[in-house]
Amino acid sequence: MLENRIRNKTLQNKIMSADEAALLIKDGMNVGTSGFTPSGYPKAVPLALAKRVETTGEKIKIGLFTGASVGDELDGSLSRSKIIRKRLPYQTNESLRKYINDGECEYLDMHLSHVPQYAQYGFLGKLDLAIIEAVGITEEGGIIPSTSIGCSPTFIKIAEKVIVEINTSQPLELEGMADIYIPNDPPHRKPIPITKVNDKIGTPYIPCDVNKIAAIVVTDIKDNVRPLAPIDDISKTISGHLIDFLEHEVKVGRLPKTLFPLQSGVGSVANAVLGGLLESSFENLLCYTEVIQDSMLDLLDSGKALFASGTSITPSEEGLIRFKENINFYKDKIILRPQEISNHPEIIRRLGIIAINTAIEADIYGNINSTNIMGTRMMNGIGGSGDFTRNAYISIFTTPSTAKNGDISSIVPMVAHHDHTEHDVMVLITEQGVADLRGLSPKERAKLIINNCAHPTYQPMLKDYFERAQKSKFKHTPHMLSEALSWHDQFIKNGTMKRLP
């Protein structure tokens, strides 16, 4: 069994327990791991490290770099044991989120396409150790990644030592789905030769100097995938508006009937959108995205979508069974790439991606907050939303028009944190409707967003703000700075953005 997985004989003597491997992690180190939106991340070694620190009371603080979000075995256990000193570039774990917002760890919220190149350029400091989940190691020491690629190729390349977690719960049939390509550094960079979603340009394994492999740990802990919430009515309405918008673009000749390759973000609305496409009239869809979830498998199964390129596959329990049973069907239709490539501006602009991401809030001028609730509390992070939004053919943001039972308006005078600016956002969609911001000035955008996207409860308040702001001396981006963030401030103090009696 294991010979299938660890094919390089000289590496057999590197097999050890997770407890032993975890001893390689020392205080002050920077550790880079596999894992993307939580799949394909190492589990046994971080769990062993947390257990040890909790038992011995040893002081270990590390910088933890990943592809994107990882499961509780890694982010949860290491933050509860206060082992994470610095963390980048994205997370969705409840314990870690609390740890960050309590000010206990330094969190860098980075564009996902930037991570590999910053690491490679030496901008993030020395990488001492990489911990990579794999389904196998080739004869030459090449690492066959499991369900995500993320930053693993770069982390393996630059780390001093590598720990491989061979996860036997991950099907070996994943072999062949990865396409590993690492760009040269300037001044030796060449065009990345992808011109179609399904172009393969690299190797099916991650090259690795065998001498760097310091430990191999065999485990069968499953990816701790999050169950997707059932699709609610608001998400369904948003998805309907989005599909109407896309159909209109086809009708006026700005998009072909097959659309252009789709990127779809994370979260419940994003899931509903893919569900909506399943019932739409579009055919022969292509996806060039980050995460491949069950709804994407549905699109492939039904023939609606022909191909999906991503950097991680995150099926549910049920989805994983389906995936394994039909692995040869999917192998022709899915490529997993490093996030440097899945999120690369060069490819995104070349392919003409339609980018669909979820906002926490938007303002009347079209700026988007994706990350900091009330301007201060980190939710997840910007993820790949900036990589895609800035370079897309059409960049779309969706959000329900209210949150917290209507006490929060997701359309505000000024967002309390800016992740995507007015220069980058083309279309905003809520359950109320669509605002197509292309070609519009700030004031034209404000009228459309207030009329089409804001909730009726907050529409009069937004109109009032906008009208009074226009009486100020300077009328390019009319604002009253003393009131611009007062909606948030009032929510913090009184628990509602509604006008107080």
Ligand X SMILES: CC(C)(COP(=O)(O)OP(=O)(O)OC[C@H]1O[C@@H](n2cnc3c(N)ncnc32)[C@H](O)[C@@H]1OP(=O)(O)O)[C@@H](O)C(=O)NCCC(=O)NCCS
Q: Which of residues 362-381 bind ligand X (CB under 6 A)?
A: 370, 373, 379-380
Q: Is residue 122 a known part of a binding site?
A: no
Which of the following is catalytic: 290, 340, 361, 431? 290
The least CB distance from residue 149 to a copy of itself, in Å, is: 19
364 binds a copy of itself (CB under 8 A): no
The window from 166-174, 330-338, 459-467, 474-482 that contacts a copy of itself (CB under 8 A) reads 474-482
Question: Which of positions 237-256 make contact with a copy of itself (CB under 8 A)?
Answer: 252-254, 256
Distance between CA atoms of 104 and 85, rounded to whole angstroms?
A: 8
Q: Is 104 labeled as catalytic in the residue annotation? A: no
Selected from 372, 380, 398, 402, the binder of a copy of itself by CB under 8 A is 372
Strands 161-167 and 213-219 come out as parallel
Lay out the sheet containing 411-412: strands in order across. 368-369, 361-363, 411-412
Spatial neighbors of 63 by CB under 8 A, at least 6 apart, are 29, 30, 31, 85, 86, 87, 88, 124, 125
442-452 and 459-469 helices, crossing angle to 10°: 160
- At 64, phi and psi to the nearest 5? -115, 115
Selected from 357, 391, 395, 430, the binder of ligand X by CB under 6 A is 357
324 binds a copy of itself (CB under 8 A): no
Question: Which of positions 127-186 make contact with a copy of itself (CB under 8 A)?
Answer: 185-186
The window from 55-63, 102-110, 400-408, 455-463 that contacts ligand X (CB under 6 A) reads 400-408
Q: Is residue 265 a known part of a binding site?
A: yes
286 pairs with which residues across the strands?
A: 307
Spatial neighbors of 150 by CB under 8 A, at least 6 apart, are 34, 35, 36, 40, 66, 67, 68, 311, 312, 338, 339
Residue number, 63 or 267, with CB nearest to ligand X: 267
Distance between CA atoms of 327 and 462, rounded to whole angstroms?
A: 52
Q: Is residue 268 a known part of a binding site?
A: yes
107 binds a copy of itself (CB under 8 A): yes
Distance between CA atoms of 149 and 342, rounded to whole angstroms?
A: 10
59 binds a copy of itself (CB under 8 A): no
109 binds a copy of itself (CB under 8 A): yes
Tell which residue, 114, 150, 108, has the closest CA to residue 131.
Answer: 150
Q: Is residue 406 a known part of a binding site?
A: no
192 binds a copy of itself (CB under 8 A): yes
Residue number, 162 or 484, with CB nearest to ligand X: 484
How many Å separate Cα 206 from the centre of its chain? 21
What distances in angstroms separate CA 215 from CA 52, 131, 134, 140, one per listed residue?
A: 18, 9, 13, 16
Query: Is residue 280 exposed (0-12), middle (13-18) or buried (19+ Cβ within 10 Å)?
Result: middle
Question: Residue 193's binding partner, choosing from a copy of itself, ligand X, none, with beta-carbon cut-off 5 to 8 A by kind?
Answer: a copy of itself
Q: Is residue 360 a known part of a binding site?
A: yes
Residue number, 128 or 290, with CB nearest to ligand X: 290
Answer whether 365's CB lies under 8 Å from 446's CB: yes
361 binds ligand X (CB under 6 A): yes
Residue number, 265 or 478, with CB nearest to ligand X: 265
Q: Is residue 404 a known part of a binding site?
A: yes
Answer whether 228's CB lies under 8 Å from 271's CB: yes
Residue number, 50 or 408, with CB nearest to ligand X: 408
Q: Which residues are catalytic?
A: 290
Write out the binding residues: 265-269, 360, 380, 384, 404
Q: Name the site residues for ligand X (rule: CB under 6 A).
A: 265-269, 290, 357-361, 370, 373, 379-380, 382-385, 403-404, 408, 410
